[in-house]
Amino acid sequence: MPPSRPVRHTRRSRRTFVDLFAGAGGISEGLRQAGWLPLAGTDLDPDACATYQSNFPEAVTIWGDLRDMRLRRQLIEQAGNVSVVVGGPPCQGFSQVRNHVRLIDDPKNSLYRQFVKLLGKLQPRAFIMENVPGMAQMGVVEQVESDLSCRGKYRVHAMVLDAADYGVPQTRKRIVFIGFHRDLGISPPHLIGTGASAAISLGRPPAADQRAVVFSQQLEGAGDLLTWLADPWDERVVTVEQAIGDMADLAASGYRSDRQLVGDVLGEPASTYQKAMRDGIHEVIDNVAVPRINADTQARLSAIPPGGNYLDLPSHLTARYITGLRWGQDNGSGVLSRKHFYAYRRLHPDIWSWTLNTKADSVYHWEAERSLSVREFARLQSFPDRYVFTTDVRRGPLPGRIDGGAAHSRYRQVGNAVPPLLARAIAGAIDEVLPD
């Protein structure tokens, strides 16, 4: 996909933003829902750019590496007097904790360095940068705040947020840095969510055979949280079933039926969340194909209760091959090699999802013996049903393309995204304190 030609933006009444390292556009979607106007989005992955361009026709999609001077010039031309710069630059050089190299000086963090440089060049009124929460445990938060201050030009505040505390049906923690230009004379906001992620968990009560939703710790006012969680018409805390229960009849069909009629896929909406996610769709719904799974996996899932995993399997189902069908690599031991908590995880309908990763087998349906569709992944990430995940039409290797094929790319795009509802909450907090 070649870079789009520059366009002139005449509307300045709305808060504008550019999204660096945008991926499939999770942050951009949340900010747009808050009323902000996207000017441009960039990413190295051509497939993610195809998704961004499809969903943000009002913005310019720029495909390529931000270390390329030509690309940076194009971005700066598009940004103009942008209000806010947002993005999640890859930041891999945690080794500086041991070798005393500053984060921004580590060669592995050259993209993070470009984010900081562009921030200094564009001088927006505010910025949002998100990253993995592990950054908070590695002792580099103060370094990052210092880098992002651009030599004192910005007041910066960092916080770790869990998407489940902001109406997303999934626990997903991110560290978020919000900065305001010092000329504004105000400090960045501090977000306070429901606190549900700290107060509620999935456990096995005494004398119970099945897992159930329980208090993980008592917090002030936590008694209301279980009430909110159980109420499908309360959108403050959302369960898996409240999110995707209207797609329960989807069946494994491979990837030949990725677009279907809405009436053939969705049942009646049974929650506020389901109704909100359907806004903007009409006759068809995309990304609903369910990948096939082999007979061995089906047999194992049949023995795992909702909320369970590999540890619930009886011994006869831990053999490497059960039905005689040989698949995958034979480890030679005669038993499964996937002996960890993340293997064969089934969702529990009465609480939010575990953190999704980039693969279709990261979670399985709580009732049907199947994987989830990309659409269900997207629902658990809080992407609305009108949001279509696609890939670049060009086949074969492309700069920035990750091997694995189109189907895997769609799961990866969703799994790597920032939940739009979390981004919308961040935008709302900024709007409360940042003047127009």
Identify whether 91 is a catalytic site residue. Answer: yes
Ordered strands of the 60-63 beta sheet: 60-63, 37-43, 16-20, 84-87, 126-131, 173-181, 154-162
Sign of the torsion angle spanned by Cα atoms 162, 166, 168, 169 = positive
Distance CA(22)–CA(264), nearest Å, equals 32
Of 117, 84, 24, 62, give the one whose Cα is nearest residue 381.
24
Q: Which residue out of 49, 91, 176, 374 is catalytically annotated?
A: 91
State in Å, rounded, how far the first CA of the chain is from the last one: 35
Alpha helices in 268-314 (DSSP H): 272-277, 295-302
Q: What are phi and psi of 258, to 5 degrees?
A: -75, -15
**C-beta separation of 158 from 175 below 8 A:** yes
Residue with tokens 């939010």: 352
To which H or E segment does residue 376 belong?
helix 374-381
CA 309 to chain centre: 23
CA 279 to chain centre: 20
Catalytic (active-site) positions: 91
